[in-house]
Each structure stands twice: as C-alpha cells, then as structure tokens.
Structure 1
Amino acid sequence: MSLRAGSRVPRAKVPWVLWVPAGLALALVVLPVVGLLVRSDLRRLPALIVSDSALAALRLSMETAAISTAACVLLGVPLAVVLARSAVPGIRLLRAIVLLPLVLPPVVGGLALLYLLGRKGFLGYLLDVTAGVTVPFTTAAVVIAQTFVAMPFLVVSLEGALRNAGDSYEQVGATLGAKPWTVFRRVTVPMLLPALGSGAVLSFARSLGEFGATITFAGSLEGVTRTLPLEVYTQAESDVDSAVAVALLLVVVALMVIVVARPRALEGRA
C-alpha cells in the first residue's frame, strides 16, 4: 500500500499485553516517590528544605556534579573515540575495564580510589611526599569519585553512537587529505553532538546521586564533601522528617535536570 506525498505515517499500536508489565514497571518507579510524599511533614517541609545544611549540600552537589561532568566530557570523548575506532590488540579487554564502574558496587570503587590516592596508596604517597597534596576527604575527592562512576555512562553513549554511524564520513575526509585531528574536529565531533548531550545529562544525573564511592573516599564533612545523598543519610540517623525533605529536594533537582537539560534527540516523536 502506497502513501500519498505529505501524508503522515501512522504510528504502530502498542500490543495490549504490554500494558500490564509496563504499568507495574511505572508503579515500581513512581510509588516509592509517592511514599516519600506521604511520609513527609508538609508543614515543616519548606523550612527543612531551606535549612543551612540542606542548602550547603545542594550547592556542593551542583558544583561537584558540574565539574565532574566537564571532566567526563574532556576525558570520555577521546576514550570513546579510541574504543570505537582503534583496532589495537586488547581493545575488548580495555572496553571491559572502562565499563567496570557500571557493575562494581560504588563502595568498592571508593575503596579502590582510597587505596590509590590515599596516603598509603602508591599514587597518593607520591603526591603527599612530592607536593604535600592529600586528596581523600576533600572536595576534589568528591569530584574524582563522581567522575569515576559517571564517565562510563558517557563513554557507552558515545561509543554506541560512533559504531551506529559508521566511519564512512571520516574515511571521506581522510581521502580528501584532511589530517586526523581535522577529521576528528570537523567530522567526528559534530556527528557526536546529540549523543554527547544525552551522555552528559546521564553523567550529571549519576554524579548528582552518587553516594557509596563518595562517602568511602571523601567522607561526609559538611560544606566540604557532604553532598545531597550524604545529607539524606546523615539526617536519617537523627531526624527522619529532615531526611525525607532532603530526599524530596534531591528528587526534584534530578527531575529538573532530566526534563530541562534532556536533549530533544531523546524525546522521540511527539
């Protein structure tokens, strides 16, 4: 059956049998948030959200997540290109190692960072002896922990985009005499922009919600390393209402990041 020029292609209908598991999946995501709303003390909620500790944690979370996202972009883009385009021996093993933070418990990642950059770690010892620099339990440690757990999300997005796009355009550029750096800058980077946007949003959201690696490697010092997830954990030990309020604040911020910063490429057709 042919379609007239300018006519809209009808959407395929969703099989009715999928609505039940889809509804269950949606309930699994939505109902816990509803539980937070039900448990919250609405009368105290505004005061708890604007408390000094909550605002300090929010500010620190936004700043460190932004810095770690920038680090993910600066380091993850070259890494994704190398993984997608190079054919060096052992590239499959390298890819598996890069994706390791996706499957490791975050607390294990925090321990690994601590034994690398702590005073007893080989790199941390060198930094301490040569430059007097101590990384653990500082704001820099928060950024490093967030970058460690968030960068694989960016790398996965970019590498998949590069493999799906193929390298024909880059080959054309090389055939025309362009140098590798020119091909990367003028062909590869523009081709990656939609995936880069979605990967950056994922990295920022993952950094914003990071807990295990941060508390293990950076600790929980108010105004220095205590991000919003750590503030929720701290308040839960003494004031459940405050913990719930800060948790709702984190949910709202995360939703705003996803809705506002999410690229149009991810939206699909309206």
Structure 2
Amino acid sequence: MTSEEAFPIGLSLRVAAIALGLAGPLGIGIAWVQARHRYPLRWLVEALVLLPLILPPSVIGYFLIVVFGRRGLVGPLLEGTFGVRLVFSPAGAVLASTVVALPLVVKTAQPAIEAVPPELEQVAKTLGLGPLSLLFRVTLPVAYRGVLAALVLGYARALGEFGATLMFAGNIPGLTNTMPLELFAAYQGGDDARAGLYVIVLTGMSLVVAFVAARLSPREITG
C-alpha cells in the first residue's frame, strides 16, 4: 500500500474520531434531555435531530455551505475573526461527519436512557445527587450498553459519510479525500484495485461495528 493509498484511510479514521468526540457528548446530552425532561417545543428539537437522517446528504452539505461557507452566514465571521476556514478543509469534513452522526447517537442513546428505572434516579436524588452527578453516576452506568452502541454507530456513520463531505469539504487529494470519496473517485477513474481496497476496509470496519452494536443491544441493558 502506497502513502497515497494510505492517506484516505488515516484521514477517515481521524475525521471520524474527532467527529465522534463532538457528536458523542452532544448527542448523549440531547438524548438525556429528551428522555428525562418535558419542556415547550420539545417536539421541535426532536424534529431537528431527525432532520439530518431524512435529508439527502448533499442537501446537508448545501446547508453547511450556506451557513459556514466563505460567503455564508457564519463563515466570514469565523475566517475574519478567528482565521478559521471550514469549507474545503479537513475541519469541514469533521463538521459534515458530526452533523450526520449526531442524530444516530441521539436516537440510539435515548431509548437506553429511557429504559433506566426512574426509581433508581429518585433514590439517588434523595441522597443529594445533582443532575450532572445523577447522569454520570447513575443513568449512564446503567444505560452504558445502549450508550456505547450509540457511540459505535455514530463513529461508523461518520466514517462512511460521503455526500455532505463532498459538498462542503470537497474531494481534494492529500487534504480532504476520505475513503468514501476516494472510493468514488477510483471507481470513476476505472481503478478497480484501488476502489476494491477501500471497499474491503470500509466493509470490514462496518462488519465489526455491526457485531459490536448487536452485542450492545438495548434489550441487554437491564439484564
């Protein structure tokens, strides 16, 4: 394997890891709020969480350009004030992967948190635990299987992200060409051997994720 062939693999692993580092805590936090609190416009948050699962990835990428592009709503402020340019950069690939992975984390973790017996949390509250202590010392330890499954699936979704990344980060060799993008480019270019390499890597990693997620199914949380 040449360095050019190895680059998309390493980039994809890094992008997915950073995206999970962002989507994981945020997604678990949203899942906990949705599972344990009733508040006005809760349905709106639910709908916004589901939206990236429903929209075509290319549409998500377009919205990212509208918001974070160099002429977008926030992009000029980020670039002018902090010198941060997201579009057509590895950071853009991370943002795109984070957006598409977040709903999967939320919708997988939320049922696991909802399955935690409320009686356990009530007892912990009587012992003086605050909301954060309750979350980290009671809720998450009991729901850990479902939460871990959410993180694993979120990582896999970030690893396989294609459409939004192509729209927002572009397919720039040596910079933003993640495995899914490189697979598409290799197939279009007739390089079946190169395409096959990324098919094997992505399929192998997906199988591992599928097996792990199956072992961490929510039905085993209270067992």
1:196 and 1:93 mapped to 2: Cα distance?
23
Q: Is residue 160 of structure 2 the alignment partner of residue 206 of structure 1?
A: no
Of 162-171 and 113-122, the range deviating more from structure 2: 162-171
One-letter amino acid of the structure 2 residue matched with residue 115 of structure 1: V
Q: Aligned Cα RMSD in Å?
A: 2.0
Could you tell me whether the CA contact under 8 Å between 2:12 and 2:159 is conserved in 1? yes
1:8-23 pair list within 5 angstroms: none
Counterpart amino acid of residue 123 in structure 2: V
Q: Separation in 2 of the partners of 1:116 and 1:166?
A: 41
* Amino acid paired to 1:248: I
CA distance in 2, matches of 1:253, 1:176: 43
Aligned to 1:236, which of 163, 187, 191?
Answer: 187
Supply the distance in 2 between the matched residues of 1:191 and 1:213 (Cα, whole angstroms). 35
Counterpart amino acid of residue 8 in structure 2: A
Secondary structure, aligned partner of 1:119: coil
Q: Which residue of 1 aligns with 2:176?
A: 225
For 1:99, the equivalent position in structure 2 comes to: 50
User: How has the CA–CA distance of structure 1 residues 95 and 130 changed in structure 2, closer, same or farther, with 3 Å as cutoff?
Assistant: same
* Match among 124, 127, 148 for residue 173 of structure 1: 124
CA shift for structure 1 position 255: 2.2
Q: Which amino acid aligns with 1:230?
A: L
Matched, 1:64 2:12: no
Specify every segment of 5 or more residues in structure 2 that has no aligned partner in the other structure, as ranges: none
Unaligned runs of 5+ in 1: 1-49
| Partner amino acid, structure 2, of 1:234 | A
**How many matched pairs?**
219
Specify the code of the residue in structure 2 equivalent to 1:151: L
Measured after TM superposition, the shift of residue 56 of structure 1 is: 0.7
Alpha-carbon shift at residue 167 of structure 1 (Å)? 2.3
Q: Are positions 1:83 and 2:48 aligned together?
A: no
Q: Match for 1:252: what amino acid? A: G
Aligned to 1:246: 198
Give the structure-2-normalised TM-score.
0.90
Q: Structure 1, residues 131-161: CA drift from partner, whole Å, max 9, x if none?
A: 2221111111111111100111110111111
Relative to structure 1, is the Cα distance of residues 58 and 75 closer, same or farther in structure 2, using a 3 angstrom cutoff? same
Match of 2:137 in 1: 186
Distance 1:231 1:201 in 2: 23
| Matches for 1:123-202 after TM superposition, within 5 Å | 123-202=74-153
Question: Is the Cα–Cα contact under 8 Å of residues 197 and 263 in structure 1 kept in the other structure?
Answer: no
Structure 1 stretches of at least 4 aligned residues deviating more than 6 Å after TM superposition: none
Q: Normalising by the residue count of structure 1, what TM-score does the alignment of the two structures yield?
A: 0.75
Specify the structure having the higher radius of gyration (Cα).
Answer: 1
